[in-house]
Amino acid sequence: MVKLSATTRGLFPVTARYAYFNSAAVAPISTRARNAMRRLADDQCRHGAAHYAKWFEAYESCRESAARLLGAAADEIALVSNTSAGITTVARGLRARAGDNVVIPDREFPANVYPWMALPDVEVRRVPKRDGRLLPEDVATHVDGRTAAVSVSFVDWLSGQRIDLKSIGEIAHEHGALFVVDAIQGLGALRLDVAEDGIDALATDGHKWLCGPEGAGILYVRRASRERIAPTRPSWMSVRHPTRFLDYDMAPAPSARRYQDGTPNTCGIFGLNAALDLIHEIGLDVIEARVLELAAAVREGAAARGVRAQCPGANSGIVSLAVEDPEVFAQALESRGVIAAARGGALRVAVHHFNDESDIERLLACF
C-alpha cells in the first residue's frame, strides 16, 4: 500500500477535524498554498506594487509548473480565472460556422455545456452514457465532417469514470475536429499527458484536485492548434508587449498568453503555484496510486455493508454510492464530521491523497 507521510497529511489542517471527501466540489488548500497567498497579500499591503516584477515571475513560474504537470510547454499555457472561462475562450475562438456541430457528453457539468450552447447556429450533440460511462464508440456515432469540436471531461463528475481520452481524441481528429478537455475532475490526482492523449485544448480551475484556490485556473492550447483558436477578448496582457503601454500594438502574444483576459488573480496564482509545487514534490505517480487505493477501499468497504457503487469500474478518486435519499444522508454524515456530497441521485465520495484509512473507517461506520 502506498503511504504518504504524516507530515504531508499535516499540511492539510482540515484533516484534524473532518474526514473530508469533497475534493470533487471544493478541495481544502494546504498550508503551503495559504502561506503563499498570505505572503503576497502582506507584501501588497505593506509595499503596494513596489515588488511588481516578482508578480510577473510568479505568473511565469505557474505556467512552467502547469506545463510540467500536463506534459506541455510553458508557452502553451495561459492563466485564466476558471474552467468556464477557459472553455468559453476556446468555443468563441473556434469561429464555428452556421450548420457546424459540437459533440459533448450527456449529463455533463455545465462548465462544459453552456459555452457550446451559447454559439449561434451551432448544433450541440449530446452523447448518451451507459450506466454513467462515456464510451468512444458512442462518441463516434455523433461525430461527422461538420463537427468543429469534441469536448469531454477528464473524469465524469457523477460516476467517477476516467474517460478514454486518447481514443476519443483520435475520433475527433479523424474528422478534423478539435479535441477539448475539461480537466477539473482529476487533474492533480491522476496522470494526464496532453500529447499522449491528443488534446488540442484543456481547461481547469485550481480549487478541486489541484488543492488550490478558486478563481485561478489554467488553459492549455496546443501550439499546433493555436491558429485554429483565435483570441477573441484582447487585453493588455494578451498582446506581444504588455508593458509597452502606449504602443497600442494589438499583435497577439506568440504564446498562449494571447488568451489571457487582462490583469490576473495574482493572489490566487501565488496559491496555485504553491499547490502545483506540492504536487510535484510528492510526485503525481505517488498521489495517483494513493488515491486509487483509497477509492478501492471505499468501494469494497461499502459493498461489504450492502452499499453499491454506481460505476464499479471507475478508475478515479470519485466513488458514487447508491444510498437512499443522498441529500439527507450527506447531511447526516456532516453532523458526524464526514464531508461528502449528494450529486446525481447518489452520494459522491471523493478521496484524495491527504485522506487515510482512519477517514475511510469514519465514513464506513456511518452505513
| Domain-embedded: residue 17 | yes
| DSSP labels, 82-112 | -HHHHHHHHHHHT-PPTT-EEEEETT--GGG
| Domain-embedded: residue 101 | yes
Q: Is 333 helix (H, G, I), strand (E, B) or coil?
A: helix
- Using pLDDT thresholds of 50, 70 and 90, give the confidence band for residue 159: very high
In the predicted structure, residue 165 carries a pLDDT above the cut 80: yes
CA neighbor of 193 nearest in space, from 278, 84, 257, 288? 288
- Using pLDDT thresholds of 50, 70 and 90, give the confidence band for residue 3: low
Same structural domain, 124 and 190: yes
Q: How many domains would you assign to the chain?
A: 2
Same structural domain, 260 and 289: no
Look at the block and give the residue holding cell 483509497.
294
47-67 average pLDDT score: 97
321-340 average pLDDT score: 98
Residue where one domain finishes, among candidates 263, 281, 299: 281
52-70 vs 31-47: helix crossing angle, rounded to 10: 160
Tell me, what's the pLDDT at 2?
Answer: 72
Average pLDDT, the chain: 97
Q: What is the CA radius of gyration of the chain?
A: 21
274-289 average pLDDT score: 98
| Domain-embedded: residue 150 | yes
User: What are the angstrom distances between the C-alpha of 265 and each of 46, 215, 236, 293?
Assistant: 19, 7, 15, 35
CA dihedral 87, 76, 167, 115 (to 10 degrees): 10
| Domain-embedded: residue 44 | yes
- C-alpha span between 45 and 224 (Å, rounded): 42
CA dihedral 133, 222, 266, 47 (to 10 degrees): 160
Look at the block and give the residue holding cell 498554498.
33
- C-alpha span between 354 and 227 (Å, rounded): 41
- C-alpha span between 109 and 156 (Å, rounded): 9
Domain hosting residue 11, numbered range: 6-29+283-364
Tell me, what's the pLDDT at 122?
Answer: 98
Phi and psi for 287 in degrees, rounded to 5? -60, -50
C-alpha cell at 11: 499540511
- C-alpha span between 160 and 324 (Å, rounded): 19
C-alpha cell at 78: 495561459
Same structural domain, 23 and 116: no
Same structural domain, 210 and 290: no
CATH code assigned at 49: 3.40.640.10
| Domain-embedded: residue 1 | no
CATH code assigned at 302: 3.90.1150.10
Same structural domain, 124 and 25: no
In the predicted structure, residue 5 carries a pLDDT above the cut 80: no
C-alpha cell at 292: 486509487
pLDDT in tens, 87-131: 999 999 998 999 999 999 999 999 999 999 999 999 999 999 999
The region, left, alpha or beta by phi > 0 then psi within -120 to 50, assigned to residue 348 is beta
Q: Is 282 helix (H, G, I), strand (E, B) or coil?
A: helix
CB 7 within 8 A of CB 281: no
Q: What is the pTM of this model?
A: 0.97
Same structural domain, 288 and 275: no
In the predicted structure, residue 216 carries a pLDDT above the cut 90: yes
| Domain-embedded: residue 132 | yes
74-81 average pLDDT score: 98
Same structural domain, 100 and 197: yes
In the predicted structure, residue 1 carries a pLDDT above the cut 70: no
Same structural domain, 290 and 310: yes
Residue where one domain finishes, among candidates 281, 296, 328: 281
- C-alpha span between 291 and 151 (Å, rounded): 25
pLDDT in tens, 289-330: 999 999 999 999 999 999 999 988 889 999 999 999 999 999
Same structural domain, 216 and 165: yes
pLDDT in tens, 234-252: 999 999 999 999 999 999 9
Same structural domain, 277 and 333: no
- C-alpha span between 340 and 155 (Å, rounded): 18
Residue 188 DSSP symbol: T
Same structural domain, 202 and 322: no
Same structural domain, 136 and 162: yes
Tell me, what's the pLDDT at 314?
Answer: 86
Residue where one domain finishes, among candidates 238, 263, 281: 281
Look at the block and give the residue holding cell 496546443.
222
